[in-house]
Structure 1
Amino acid sequence: MQKQFTTDTTRLLLNYYGLKIRFGQDPENQLCTDDFAGHWAHNANLSVKAIMGVAGYSEMAHMLGLDDVAEKYAGIAKKMAVKWEEMANEGDHYRLAFDRENTWSQKYNMIWDKMWNLNLFPNNVISKEVNYYLTKQNRYGLPLDSRKDYTKSDWIMWIAAMSPDQNTFEKFIIPLYKYINETTSRVPISDWHETKTGKMTGFKARSVIGGYWMKVLIDKVQNKQ
C-alpha cells in the first residue's frame, strides 16, 4: 500500500521537493516548531529538515525502481549537506541560525541521517553536535537552544537516539528521568519544561510524547537492514 501511494503521488511529491531544494538550503522567513523564543530566519535545523526531505524523496524513488531519479536527488541532498556544514560551522558545534555567531541548537532532524544510514553530513557533524550537547545540559535536561533554559523533551529523546552508544544515550536520558520523577508540576507529562527548575513551561499530555520512542524505532529499523 505504501509503494502504491508513493507511485500515485510521485508528481505531487516532485513539485514539493523542488520547493525544498529551492528554499530549504537557507530558509529565509519560514516558521519553525521551536519558535518559542522568537522567530529567526536562516534556521539551521530547519535546513536539515529540508535536506533530509530531499534525501527521503531519493529513498522513495529507489523503492519504486526509479534509480536515475534516486541517484539525482541523493546527489542533491549530499551537496546540500556539505554546504550546510560550511554555513553552520562554529568550530566545536553548529549554529542555531546561519547568520548568528555564538549560538547553538538541538539538530534533532539529523536523526533521519542516522536512521537511514545515509551519512550525508560530512566531518562527523552528528558526533560533534552530540559531544557539544553534553557540555550544555542542566539538571533536568538539554535546553532547546542557546536562547533559553527550557526544552522540548521529545526532541531530547531524538538527540539521545543520535548517540553512538548506550552510555552516551543514558547521559541524555537520566536528566530527563529526573525531570519526570522530581517535577513539582502535577500534570500529565509536559513536553515543554525548564531544565534548571524542572517545572512545566507549557503543554501537557500531548501526542508528541510518542517521540520518546525514537530509540525503539531506530533500533527496529536498523536491525532490519
Structure 2
Amino acid sequence: CLRYGQDPENQLCTDDFAGHWAHNANLSIKAIMGVAGYSEMARLLGLNDVADQYAGIAKNMAVKWEAMANEGDHYRLAFDRENTWSQKYNMVWDKMWNLNLFPNNVIDKEIKYYLTKQNPYGLPLDSRKEYTKSDWVIWTAAMAPDRSTFEKFIDPLYKYINETESRVPISDWHHTDSGEWVGFKARSVIGGYWMQVLMDKISK
C-alpha cells in the first residue's frame, strides 16, 4: 500500500471485467483506506505511536489523492484521464470510521455528481460503460448525507430487481439502461447490500 498504493500501475482492480486500468483513483482509495485501517488496528492494540504514524501517512495520501483526481465538480476514474468519472465506493470506509481523511468535501461532491449520471435502473459503475455493480451502488449510497439521498440510489436498484426480464437469481452486474443482467448471478457479494445496516450498527 505504501509503495504502490498512491498511484497504482497498470493492474486489475476488483472490477476485473473492465480490464487493466493504470492510475485507477478508486483503487488508490482502497490503498489509502488500507493504511488507515492498519492505523486503526494498531490503536486498538494500544500501539499509539504506530497508529499516529500511519494515520498521518493515510491523511497525507488522501490530500495528495484529492489534488491528483480533481476534475472540478467531481473526481476522475484515473488520475491521467480527463473527462472521466467513477463510483468511489471504497471511500465508504472513511465515512464509516469517521476519519475524514479526504479534504474539500470529496464525498459530498461525488454524491451530487453521481445523481446527474443515473439511468432508469441505477448508477453506472463509471464513465466507460452503462453497466453497474449493484453492491457497489449500495456502498456508494451509504455515503449519502441523508436518507432521502440514499433512497435516490436505492430506488433504481429496486426497479431493476422488480422489473428485469432476466430470470436469474439477483445479478450484481447489470445494465442500467435496460435492466438486463450481464453475467453474474446469486453471488456472495450480495452481502454488500447490507453496508448501510452495518454503518447504522456501528454508529450506535
Q: TM-score range by the shorter chain?
A: over 0.9
* Bigger Cα displacement from structure 2, 38-47 vs 117-126: 38-47
Runs of 4+ off more than 6 Å: none
- Please show how residues 165-204 of structure 1 align to structure 2 within 5 Å: 165-204=146-185
Instruction: Indicate whether 1:45 and 2:26 are aligned.
Output: yes
Q: Which runs of 5+ in 1 are unaligned?
A: 1-19
Report if the CA contact (8 A) 2:86-2:126 is conserved: yes
Q: 1:219 aligns with which of 183, 200, 203?
A: 200
Question: Could you tell me how far 1:99 is from its partner in structure 2?
Answer: 0.4
* Pick aligned residue for 2:2 from 21, 29, 34: 21
Inter-partner Cα distance in structure 2 for 1:40 and 1:104: 13
Percent identity, aligned pairs only, is 82
More helix by share: 1
Counterpart for residue 102 of structure 2 = 121
Deviation, 1:33, is 1.4
Secondary structure, aligned partner of 2:58: helix
Q: Deviations over 1:15-68 (max 9, x none)?
A: xxxxx1110000012211113233210000000000000000000000010000
Equivalent-residue separation in structure 2 for 1:76 and 1:222 (angstroms): 25
Q: Which amino acid aligns with 2:41?
A: M
How far apart in 1 are the matches of 2:202 and 2:71? 32
CA offsets 1:69-98 (integer angstroms, 9 cap, x no match): 000000000000000000000000000000
For the residues of structure 1 that align with 2:47 and 2:57, how far apart are their CA atoms?
A: 16
Which range moved further: 26-35 or 53-62? 26-35
Q: Of the two, which has the highest radius of gyration?
A: 1
Query: Residue 12 of structure 2 contacts residue 19 of structure 2 at CA under 8 Å; is this kept in 1?
Result: no
Count, aligned residues: 204
Question: What amino acid sits opposite 2:141 in the alignment?
Answer: A
TM-score (norm 1): 0.90
Q: Secondary structure at the match of 2:63?
A: helix
